[in-house]
Amino acid sequence: MIKHLTRTNMLTVILIIAALIVIFIVFHMFTKDKSVSDDYGVSAAHPLAVEVGMNVLEEGGNAVDAAVAVSYALSVVEPAGSGLGGGGAMVIASPHKEPVAYDYREVMPSTGELPEDNIGVPGFVKGMEEVHSDFGQMDREALIQPAIELAKNGISADQVLTERLESEESKLAVEELSPFFPKGEVIQPGEKVIQKELVDTLKIIQEEGASAFYEGELGKSIVDAVEGLSMEDFNNYSVQKHDAVHGELGGYNVYSAPPPLGGLTLIEMLQTAEAMDIEKARETPADFIHVLSEIATVSYQDRLRYIADMNFTNVPIQQLSSKEYAQEKGSAILFNQLSKVNMKNDDSEAGEDDHSDTTHFVIYDSDGMMVSVTNSLSHFFGSGQYVRGMFLNNQLKNFSKNPSSPNVAEAGKRPRSFMAPTILTKDEKPALGIGSPGGKRIPMVMAQVILRHLVFGESMQTAINQPRFYIEEGEIDIEEDFSDDIKEELTSRGYDWNSREAGSFFGGIQSLYVDHKNNRLTGGADLRRNGTWNAKSRRERE
């Protein structure tokens, strides 16, 4: 038909198409919220993961697309921290929409009996598929491909990977882990890590989706390797989707991961600090350490008392997140007096073993969507079991050993966790995404950084770089960078303290901060765990 059109008609068609394109562009320009930053960025604990996320954003993917790609990439480049054999949590916020939280953590099997090595039914693969189904724009296959390329072509081992392999060698089957123990020896920094088994597993998921994991050969391989898990457990696995828990700090709305995760504990700490006017401690570091330690002690005890899987217990979310409750708790804390509360912060086997290895990242896209994600195997390399290129979690150690706790192990239950992926909004737009690994230190470390940034006015990177502290059973661990004067002041106040080198013990904060007023995106990355971040403007891309 087209060949019979006259030249005049052809010109008319071309003009109409051109006009429609102009109308579309103008419509997009005038309907886009001008107060939303055009920048986009990624903050993560490995530069290759940041690169993967930035590439997805530059190819037209949104923040959730990039989060899926980064999650899979981190399973390759940070195998000690997260991966297909584990789980995690994600908070998603978009302009003028209520933030939502996804829990794709590991689950107790239907028998109610703890499986071998405390391995729970992994939720990672199902979680990635479900968030992508709800929010993603790019093809799922394309988002898994970068991880396949990294595993196939190899990555250079860094000092962090070498040290973690050395520390956990006793629980790993060295003879079955040639990618990490070439010739039976720990791989050294600069040597190439090629993970052929993981390549094959990723390709199966890429082609068949989550069904290959929860109904097919991948799940069967795990069930065959782990006594106490069944294909029924895999068939019945479901991702939990909830409203994020909510609090307020300094004019910002704070949204974090709901129970059994650590968001409520973080919110309680932040709001109690504000109720006590923590800004008074800005120029007196010993006061800041003392007051926040006292707040943490109270908040962590509330966690032990109340926080658990919401499908099994009624968690008083409204009470714990209320400003009135924060005021009540703060009124019992004094700036100049040490309390007599000397209790453990956790009552699980994971707490005793100090499970602290997870990975966190934050992504922001040029349409204003922000994603904050914490993925985990629970401990370094999880249980140490390695099946088809995946390290399997030992997340079920996070159940309480106290029989009267709401967090006792039960069939189909998710254990409690300190993970707290968090997003703060301002004027109904995402403004700050933040989170950290670090096990039981996560809420305490996050509170220190957030308060320094939003209350003390420090830049995000300065707040991240500041020395940190952690209190448990009346004893404070402090980073060695604290001055002798501060250490002496803590001693005079009755504290016992231990000085530690700055390192992974104190977490690894990753963050992105959006300055909507100046249309600028900045980030913060924690060198304690080789963190990095990158941000660009969409105007640069166009």
Q: Hey, which residues are catalytic here?
A: 358
User: Please, what's the b/e burial string for 404-427 (b: 16 or more CB within 10 A of its CB; e: otherwise)?
Assistant: ebbbbbeebbbbbbbbbbbbbbbe
The alpha helices in 209-316, defined as continuous H runs, are 211-214, 217-225, 231-235, 263-275, 285-306
Q: In the 8-state DSSP scheme, what is residue 141?
A: H
Distance, CA of 330 to CA of 309 (rounded, Å): 27
Distance, CA of 39 to CA of 66 (rounded, Å): 15
What is the helix (H) or strand (E) element at residue 444, kind and residue range? helix 442-454
CA distances from 348 to 176, 256, 401, 422 (A): 30, 23, 5, 24
Distance, CA of 489 to CA of 284 (rounded, Å): 10
Distance, CA of 424 to CA of 446 (rounded, Å): 13
Location of structure tokens 């966690």 = 303
∠ CA 187-391-423, nearest 5°, is 105
User: Please, what's the b/e burial string for 489-499 (b: 16 or more CB within 10 A of its CB; e: otherwise)?
Assistant: bbeeeebebee
Tokens of 157: 């081992």
435 labeled part of a ligand binding site: no
Cβ-contact 38, 537 below 8 angstroms? yes
Handedness of CA 400, 402, 407, 410 (dihedral sign): positive
What is the helix (H) or strand (E) element at residue 8, kind and residue range? helix 7-31
In this structure, the strands spanning 496-500 and 475-479 are parallel
Q: In the 8-state DSSP scheme, what is residue 400?
A: B
State the virtual CA torsion across 117, 118, 120, 124 in degrees, nearest 10: -70
Cβ-contact 435, 509 below 8 angstroms? yes
Distance, first Cα to last Cα, the chain: 36
Distance, CA of 268 to CA of 138 (rounded, Å): 38
Distance, CA of 58 to CA of 61 (rounded, Å): 7
Cβ-contact 63, 371 below 8 angstroms? yes
439 labeled part of a ligand binding site: yes
SS (HEC) of 311-358: CCCCCCHHHHCCHHHHHHHHCCCCCCCCCCCCCCCCCEHHHHHCCCCE
Distance, CA of 511 to CA of 504 (rounded, Å): 17
Cβ-contact 285, 486 below 8 angstroms? yes
Residues belonging to the binding site for L-glutamate are 105, 439
Residues belonging to the binding site are 105, 439
